[in-house]
Copies of this chain bind each other. A is one copy, B any other.
Amino acid sequence: MNWMISSQNVSEMLLLRRCCSLTRCGPISTRRLKVAPAVTSCAARFCSSGSEDQSSYQCANWKHILAGLLAGTGAVLVYSQHRHKAERADVSVTITEKGSLLPVFSQDEVTKHRSLEDGVWVTYKGGVYDITEFVAMHPGGNKILLAAGGALEPFWALYAVHDQEHVLEILSEYKVGELCEEDLKKQQASKPSDPFSSDPERHPVLQVNTLKPFNAEPPPEILSDSYITPSAFFFKRNHLPVPQLDQASYRLQVEGLPQGVLSLSLEDLKTKFPKHTVTVTLQCAGNRRGDMNKVKPVKGLNWGVAAIGNAKWSGARLRDVLLAAGFEPGVAQWARHVQFEGLDKDVTGTSYGASIPLNKAIGEEGDVLLAYEMNGEDIPRDHGYPVRVVVPGVVGARNVKWLGKIVVSAEESSSHWQQQDYKGFAPGTDWNQVDFESAPAIQELPVQSAITVPADGAVIHHSDETLTVAGYAWSGGGREVIRVDVSLDGGKTWQVAQLRSGDKGQAPEPSPPPGRAWAWKLWEITAPLPPEAEELEIICKAVDSSYNVQPDTVPPIWNLRGLLSNAWHRVTVRLRRD
C-alpha cells in the first residue's frame, strides 16, 4: 500500500471500525446505511462469497473481514470526507448514467487537462471526469496526477485497491462528459494487459492479504514446524508486479564509486566473488499489524504473526562487490549510505527502492549478501529472482528484491518507501500532523516473539493433561534471543521456554559470534494444564542479548502505519472438560 492519506481524521477511522464490527453481527441498519453506504456496502461485499481478488478472504473470520476493509481504508475514508464536503455544499449525490446529456469530448481535449491550473481530467470506461478538486483528497497523493489527461484503467490495474464499488461511486461525482466513440475504440484496442498476469503461481495454503500486488503469509502453525522456512511458505511482500527477468540478460549496476559504473552479470556474481551462505530471518515491518488494528485502525496490510521467515541465503558479499567496484577508505569520507533499486516498476517506471547505512554495507561483520540462492536453490521469483539484497538484522523493506542497481551515496534513497513510509511515530501522531522527516527510516528491528501454537480461540480438552505452547523469537541488529518467558495466566507468572536453533532431533546451527545472530530461535514449553481453569490467556515475551524486552501492551506503541508491532503476543484458549 503505497498511497498516503494526508488530511483525514482518526475519528473517521473509528467510524469505520464501529461500522465493521456491527456488520459482522447481523443485518445492517438503515441508519448506518445513511451514514456511510460505501463503507457498509464494502463490508457487505467482503462478506459475500469471495470473488475476483478477494476470493481468499475467509469471511467467517472477523480478522479477515477487517483485513479486507483495511485494504480499502484510505479510499473509504476519502469517501467519507468527500461525502461530508458534498453535504456541506448541498450538492445532491447522483450517479450519472451513460447516455445522459453531458457533453462529448475528444481525447485531444481531455489531454489538455493535465495540471491543477488547466484542470485534471481523466477517462474511465468512456466517461470523462474532472477530478481537479479530488487531487488533494487522493489517498495516494500527487501520484494521481500521473494519470492526468489519460485513462485510469492502466493505473487501476496496477493498484488493485481501486477496484471497489465505493471508489467508482466517488469517481462518478466528478463526471463532466463522455469520450467520443472513436477515441474510446482506440483506447479499448490498446487495452493494457493485467500487469500482474505474469506473477508466479503460489501455494494455496498461504493466507492472502492482497492479490495484486501479492502479499501473503503462511498459517502460523506451519511457521514453527521448521527452523528453515521453505520458500513456498515464506511470507511474500510485493509492492509491485513481479518482474520477468532473464538470467542471461540480467545486469547489476554498481554506481557512485570513483572507478565509475561496474556492470555485473549473474555469472560474474557467481564466479568472481566467494559464495557465502548465511541463515537470516527476514521480517516485514508490518508483521503483527493485526494487533494494532484491534486497538485502533491503522493503514496497511493486516498481517498476522507470520510475516516473518528464516532462510539460508547464498550469494556474494556486498562488501566484496563494493571493494571490487573501487570502494576504498576515502569513500567513507563523503559516502554515508548504499542505495538499492529494484527492477520491479510501476506504470510511471518508478522502481521499488531503499538504502542502508554505509557501515552496515561495507563492514566485515555486516554479512550483507547479494543473494542468488534461497535454501540452496535459485531464489524464487516472489523472493527476488535472480538477485536480492539480504541485509541481516534489518527490516524486510531494505532487503530489495529483483536488484538492478546499487548506488554508494552521501544521501539516503529518495524512494517513497525510504522517506515517506517505514518509519515509526508516537501513538498520538495522526495523519494531520505526521512529519515523515522527523523520524529515522527503520533499519534494525526491535525484539519480537509470537505464539504459533495453539491458535487464538483454540479449544483444549482437559483430557490432555499438559499443554504445549510453541513459537518463534527474533531480534534485529544481530542481537541473539537469550530467553523467552511464557505465561499461562495472563502475565501473573512466567516460565522459561526451551529455545532451539535447528529442527528437533537435528544438530543446532553453530552459535553465532556476538552481534551476528541473524536467525530466529524457535521455542516451546510443555506445562501442566491448570486443573480448575476454563480459559487461559497465554503470553510470550522475548529478551535479546542487549536485554531489550518487548513492551507489555499495544496502545502505547500504536502508530498510524501499524509498524513495529512487538508488544507481548497473547492468545486465549478455552479448556473443555468432557
Using CB atoms and an 8 Å cutoff, list the residues of chain A in contact with chain B: 357, 359-360, 363, 365, 424, 426-429, 439-440, 442-447, 476-477, 479, 482-483, 485, 491, 493-496, 513-515, 541, 543, 545-553, 556-557, 564
Give Cα A496–Cα B559 distance, bound, in whole angstroms. 13
A549 surroundings in chain B (CB, below 8 A): 446, 551, 556-557
- Grouping DSSP codes into helix (H, G, I), strand (E, B) and loop, the A interface class, with mixed when no group exceeds half, is loop
What is the distance, in angstroms, from A53's C-beta to the closest C-beta of chain B? 32
* A428 x B543 contact (CB < 8 A): no
Residues B428 and A545 in contact, CB atoms below 8 Å apart: no
Contact B547 A446 (CB under 8 A): yes
A408 to chain B, nearest CB (A): 15
Which 6 pairs show the lowest CB-CB distances between chains A and B? A552-B552, A444-B546, A446-B548, A357-B514, A548-B548, A446-B547
Nearest CB on B from A14, distance (A): 15
Q: Are A513 and B359 in contact (CB under 8 A)?
A: yes
Q: How far is the CB of A301 from chain B (nearest CB, A)?
A: 19
A552 CB contact (under 8 Å) in B363, B547, B551: B551
A285 to chain B, nearest CB (A): 9
Docked Cα-Cα span, A428 to B476, in Å, equals 26
Q: What are 24 pairs between A and B in contact, CB < 8 Å?
A: A357-B514, A359-B365, A424-B543, A426-B483, A426-B485, A427-B494, A428-B495, A428-B496, A440-B482, A442-B547, A443-B546, A444-B545, A444-B547, A446-B548, A477-B477, A477-B479, A546-B548, A548-B548, A549-B556, A550-B551, A551-B551, A551-B552, A552-B553, A552-B556
B446 near A359: Cβ-Cβ < 8 Å: no
Question: Which chain B positions have C-beta within 8 A of A494?
Answer: 426-428, 556
Residue of B nearest to A439 (CB): B482
B-side contacts of A546, CB under 8 Å = 443-446, 476-477, 548
Nearest-CB residue, chain B, relative to A424: B547
A144 to chain B: closest CB distance in Å? 31
- Chain B residue numbers with a CB within 8 Å of A496 are 426, 428-429
Alpha-carbon separation in the docked complex, A442 to B428 (Å): 34
Contact of A447 among B429, B440, B445, B548 (CB under 8 A): B548
Q: Which of A427, A514, A546, A557 has the most CB of B within 10 A?
A: A546
| CB neighbours of A545 from chain B (8 A) | 440, 443-444
Q: How far is the CA of A556 from the CA of B543 in the complex (A)?
A: 11
- Least CB distance from A360 to B in Å reads 8
Given A424-B543, A547-B445, A439 contacting B495 (CB threshold 8 A): no
Known: A426-B485, A443-B514, A445-B547. 15 other contacts (CB 8 A): A359-B365, A359-B513, A424-B483, A424-B543, A426-B494, A428-B493, A428-B496, A429-B496, A444-B545, A446-B546, A447-B548, A541-B556, A546-B548, A549-B557, A552-B556
> A491: which B residues are within 8 A, CB to CB?
556
What are the residues of chain B within 8 A of A553 when measuring CB–CB? 552
Chain B residues whose CB sits within 8 angstroms of the CB of A550 once the complex forms? 551
Of chain B, the residue at the smallest CB distance from A483 is: B426
Q: Smallest CB-CB separation from A476: which chain B residue?
A: B546
Across-interface contacts of A359 in B (CB, < 8 A): 365, 513-515
| Assembly CA distance A359 to B364 (angstroms) | 11
Chain B hits for A543, CB < 8 A: 424
**Residue ID in chain B nearest A539 by CB atoms:** B556
Q: Chain B: which residue is nearest A568 at the CB level?
A: B556
